[in-house]
Amino acid sequence: MIDDLLQFLDNSPSPWHAVESTIERLDGFECLHEADPWNDLPPNGYVVRDGAIIAWRSPGGDIAPSSPFRLAGAHTDSPVLRVKPHPDSDALGWRQLGVEVYGGILNNTWLDRDLGIAGRVIGSDGTSTLVNVANPIARVPQLAVHLDREVNSKGLTLDAQQHLKPIWGVGISSSGEFASWIGSQAGLNGPAAWWELCLYDVQRASIMGADQSLIASGRLDNLLSCWAATRSLVEARPPAHTALIVFNDHEEVGSSSTTGAAGPFLEQVLSRLVAARGGTSEDFHRALAASSCISADNAHAVHPNYPERHDPDHRPIVNAGPALKVNANQRYATSADTAAEFQRACEAAGVPWQVFVSRNNMPCGSTIGPLTATRLGIATADVGVPQLSMHSARELCGVDDPVHLSNALTSFLTG
């Protein structure tokens, strides 16, 4: 089963690939398009909007239009380097690529890695093609210690504009060179007109530790949760409600977009599902009032070298189950009610669980949970698998926790 997670991680180097990897696992789910009329609603279906996807499973037969939803949410994007629109440049005999920092990367983790490139390219006729060049084509080389004598005593300082620019060959570059190269990699007849492309570490996801207890990979935050929720939806058997997964894009950059959790995607799909069953706006609001959501996004496991960065009574450890994330200031949406509901789901599935709370003197991150709760008024719990090295190009988590999370979500989605 964990092999399937490793494959999901390796095959999803961009949000659009994560959506494809999700669809591959939705056996028996029918694709609906937003621009089509939704009349004969299939019991199991999905709809894609760029780097976001929503899929649902309902009991089939006649389901009351006001019947509630049980949702599991996650996000498809990860902090990376993205290729700029005019990337061709060279300096002092090196060909370089102009990149833009996407989200809160740990700058130093991008140094000296063999980088591939993946995402989508748009041809001159407007067609969109997924591309994944999985062999190393670029690298951000670190300055030698001989030329930076204080790097180990004073720390590494990187300017995001100047020091994160990868090399991808030698010589002189010409304008349009990258567009032609990526166009041919994508199988286009000519140069790519536009693109959204991520550089990524080509080292494959792997099980590690002498006891095989850990997983090392890029993008564990938050493809791990996408994988777990997808598996849960496939296995869930909702008796009288609709189980649904929603994977948003752009969480790492604030979620305000057509595909982000602050955008309209989920609300539009939910209202259309109710309408397709013959429901009124009254039915829609009744359905939302009785619905609940688990927002799954990784949590910080306690770091053995920095124990002072964690609250001593709320610091999750790996392989001890998903953590309920609590924040009284509503950076997480978890309430006492929704926490108790997730606890019951875990206990029904025989899954251990933990609690994460930030220190009062440390800023707390956030997730799509509070956005879903705020936009739709759906009762939400934030949960996540504990991990180290969050937002590193290569993250680390326990080998047992992804299955723990998936089993808990299956129990929750089944109800």
Q: List residues binding Zn ion (CB under 5 A).
A: 221-222, 297
In the complex with Zn ion, the residue whose CB is nearer, 78 or 271, is 78
What is the C-alpha to C-alpha distance for residues 224 and 209, in angstroms, rounded to an integer?
19
In the complex with Zn ion, the residue whose CB is nearer, 221 or 249, is 221
Instruction: Sort 171 into a burial class: Cβ within 10 Å, 0-12 / 13-18 / 19+.
Output: exposed
In the complex with Zn ion, the residue whose CB is nearer, 295 or 338, is 295
Please, are residues 121 and 127 in contact by the beta-carbon 8 Å criterion?
no
Please report how close the Cβ of residue 252 comes to Zn ion at its closest, in angstroms. Answer: 7
Q: In this structure, how many other beta carbons lie within 10 angstroms of the beta carbon of residue 1?
A: 8
Tell me the DSSP string of 286-335.
HHHHT-EEEEE--EEPPPTT-GGGS-TTS---TTS-PEEE--TTSSS---
Please, are residues 90 and 172 in contact by the beta-carbon 8 Å criterion?
yes
In the complex with Zn ion, the residue whose CB is nearer, 182 or 385, is 385
In the complex with Zn ion, the residue whose CB is nearer, 95 or 219, is 219
Output the CA torsion sign for 156, 116, 3, 43.
Answer: positive
In the complex with Zn ion, the residue whose CB is nearer, 222 or 255, is 222
Please report how close the Cβ of residue 230 comes to Zn ion at its closest, in angstroms. Answer: 16
What is the C-alpha to C-alpha distance for residues 264 and 250, in angstroms, rounded to an integer?
13
Please, are residues 110 and 48 in contact by the beta-carbon 8 Å criterion?
no
Q: Which two tokens stand for residue 282?
A: 């009254």
Q: Which two tokens stand for residue 397?
A: 């988590």
In the complex with Zn ion, the residue whose CB is nearer, 10 or 297, is 297
Please report how close the Cβ of residue 386 comes to Zn ion at its closest, in angstroms. Answer: 13
Please report how close the Cβ of residue 14 comes to Zn ion at its closest, in angstroms. Answer: 15
Number of H helices, E strands in the chain: 10, 20
Q: In this structure, how many other beta carbons lie within 10 angstroms of the beta carbon of residue 269?
A: 22
Q: Which two tokens stand for residue 171?
A: 């010589």
Please report how close the Cβ of residue 297 comes to Zn ion at its closest, in angstroms. Answer: 4
**Taking phi first (over 0 means left), then psi (-120 to 50 degrees means alpha), and beta for anything else, what does residue 57 get?**
beta
What is the C-alpha to C-alpha distance for residues 323 and 321, in angstroms, rounded to an integer?
7
- Residue 27 has what DSSP assignment? T
Please report how close the Cβ of residue 4 comes to Zn ion at its closest, in angstroms. Answer: 21
Please report how close the Cβ of residue 179 comes to Zn ion at its closest, in angstroms. Answer: 32
In the complex with Zn ion, the residue whose CB is nearer, 77 or 177, is 77
In the complex with Zn ion, the residue whose CB is nearer, 292 or 298, is 298
Strand-strand pairing, 292-296 and 69-75: parallel
Please report how close the Cβ of residue 324 comes to Zn ion at its closest, in angstroms. Answer: 16
What is the C-alpha to C-alpha distance for residues 291 and 70, in angstroms, rounded to an integer?
6
Instruction: Sort 109 into a burial class: Cβ within 10 Å, 0-12 / 13-18 / 19+.
Output: middle
In the complex with Zn ion, the residue whose CB is nearer, 276 or 364, is 364
Q: Which two tokens stand for residue 366?
A: 């956030």
Please report how close the Cβ of residue 78 comes to Zn ion at its closest, in angstroms. Answer: 8
Please report how close the Cβ of residue 395 comes to Zn ion at its closest, in angstroms. Answer: 10
DSSP bridge partners of 176: none
